[in-house]
């Protein structure tokens, strides 16, 4: 699919009525007034970023719908024999539980890029995604539409730092990501564990953090201790002078602050070694390259 770096073809503003509330809602003047369609002719978006729905909250919403109906129409794309949801899957699921036969929808006419982008942004702006689903949604906007992190930040009304930190979660072991989804770990816990590059050890540490009910500070302290122990062993194996090893550790921290990403100095001996700089996306790599070129 060809990407349009300028964003949505018609502009996101043409699709939003109450954007000050941070919610994507189709503008009836642009896409027509709401109409009622049979609920069985509406199908969920196969690429919906949200995978987890709280059954208790769905039941509560269903009870509310029985009394008040669906206040905000669902957003759908006409697929000929059925309507595919763009936004409003939670309301659609609750309406089915409530026993509704028909639901109000606004039928939109979007390009495939607009369809995917609006679907992702609708979920993100409604804050209905868990941290991993949200990170995956950001990654799709970057990878599929070739958006830069600051462009994603602007579209979803979040800071670039938020986008960068979210994307870093996708570097975690899948089992650790699942622990975040299950609310066993916070994103603060998880980000502190990114420094453990061995994925099996990362997962083992995550389980330990959960079992011992560690705070984020506890995790940061234990990870630092783990890495220092590893660095000490590596230094001894390489025959490094202890004072030089300490200097390398301080230099790593300085470079991390300058480059805004993790940096590792792997010393072979007291005179030579290898410098490793981590990045988490093509956009992040380009940022680091631009930064290095600006100071040469």
- Structure confidence by residue, pLDDT tens digits, 171-214: 999 999 999 999 999 999 999 999 888 899 999 999 999 999 99
Same domain assignment for residues 16 and 111: yes
**In 3D, which of 173, 216, 146 has the Cα closest to residue 2?**
146
What are 75's strand-pairing partners? 87, 106
| Residue 211 within a domain | yes
**In 3D, which of 3, 287, 23 has the Cα closest to residue 157?**
23
| Residue 31 within a domain | yes
Same domain assignment for residues 198 and 126: no
Could you give the percent of the chain with pLDDT greater than 70?
Answer: 77
Task: Look at residue 24 in the predicted model and tell me its pLDDT.
Answer: 41
Dist CA 291 CA 198 (whole Å): 29
Better-scored residue on pLDDT, 250 or 61: 61
Average pLDDT of the chain is: 78
What is the per-residue pLDDT across 128-139, written as a single tens digit (0 to 9) for each?
678 998 898 888
Dist CA 141 CA 136 (whole Å): 9
In terms of residue numbers, what domain contains 193?
182-238
Dist CA 10 CA 26 (whole Å): 12
Same domain assignment for residues 244 and 273: yes
Whether residue 164 contacts residue 284, with contact meaning beta carbons closer than 8 Å, is answered with: yes
Same domain assignment for residues 231 and 246: no
User: In which band, very low, low, confident or very high, does the pLDDT at 26 lie, cut at 50, 70 and 90?
Assistant: very low
Tally of structural domains, the chain? 3
Same domain assignment for residues 17 and 124: yes
User: In which band, very low, low, confident or very high, does the pLDDT at 236 lie, cut at 50, 70 and 90?
Assistant: low
User: What residues are labeled active site?
Assistant: 89
pLDDT average, residue stretch 89-93? 88
Same domain assignment for residues 52 and 101: yes
Task: Look at residue 275 in the predicted model and tell me its pLDDT.
Answer: 85
**In 3D, which of 132, 115, 199, 146 has the Cα closest to residue 3?**
146
Task: Look at residue 15 in the predicted model and tell me its pLDDT.
Answer: 39
Positive or negative CA dihedral for 126, 127, 130, 133? positive
Provide the whole-model pTM.
0.60
pLDDT at 84 over 80: yes
Task: Look at residue 213 in the predicted model and tell me its pLDDT.
Answer: 94
Distance (Å) of CA 267 to CA 24, 30, 169: 52, 61, 28
| Residue 17 within a domain | yes
User: In which band, very low, low, confident or very high, does the pLDDT at 127 lie, cut at 50, 70 and 90?
Assistant: low
Query: Could you give the count of Cα atoms lying within 13 Å of 80 in the half-sphere of its Cβ?
Result: 0
Read off the CATH number of the domain in which 46 is found: 3.90.1530.10
Same domain assignment for residues 120 and 33: yes
Better-scored residue on pLDDT, 113 or 104: 104
Place of tokens 């998880």: 190
Better-scored residue on pLDDT, 82 or 258: 82
What totals of helices (H) and strands (E) does the chain contain, helices first?
A: 13, 7
């Amino acid at each position: 699919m060809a990407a349009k770096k300028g964003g949505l073809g018609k502009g996101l503003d043409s699709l939003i009525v109450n954007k000050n509330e941070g919610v994507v809602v189709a503008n009836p003047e642009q896409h027509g007034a709401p109409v009622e369609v049979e609920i069985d002719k509406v199908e969920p978006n196969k690429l919906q970023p949200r995978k987890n729905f709280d059954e208790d909250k769905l039941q509560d919403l269903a009870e509310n719908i029985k009394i008040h109906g669906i206040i905000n129409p669902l957003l759908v794309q006409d697929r000929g024999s059925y309507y595919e949801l763009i936004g409003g899957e939670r309301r659609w699921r609750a309406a089915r539980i409530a026993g509704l036969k028909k639901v109000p929808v606004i039928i939109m006419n979007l390009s495939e890029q607009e369809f995917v982008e609006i679907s992702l942004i609708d979920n993100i702006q409604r804050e209905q995604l868990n941290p991993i689903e949200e990170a995956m949604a950001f990654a799709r906007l970057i990878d599929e539409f070739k958006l830069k992190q600051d462009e994603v930040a602007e579209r979803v009304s979040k800071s670039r730092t938020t986008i960068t930190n979210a994307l870093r979660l996708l570097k975690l072991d899948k089992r650790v990501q699942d622990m975040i989804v299950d609310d066993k770990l916070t994103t603060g816990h998880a980000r502190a564990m990114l420094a453990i590059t061995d994925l099996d050890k990362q997962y083992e540490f995550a389980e330990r953090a959960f079992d011992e009910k560690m705070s984020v500070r506890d995790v940061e302290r234990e990870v630092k201790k783990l890495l220092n122990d590893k660095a000490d062993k590596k230094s001894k194996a390489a025959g490094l002078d202890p004072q030089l090893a300490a200097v390398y550790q301080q230099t790593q921290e300085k470079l991390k602050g300058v480059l805004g990403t993790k940096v590792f100095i792997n010393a072979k001996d007291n005179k030579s070694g290898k410098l490793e700089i981590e990045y988490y996306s093509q956009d992040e790599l380009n940022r680091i390259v631009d930064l290095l070129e600006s100071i040469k």
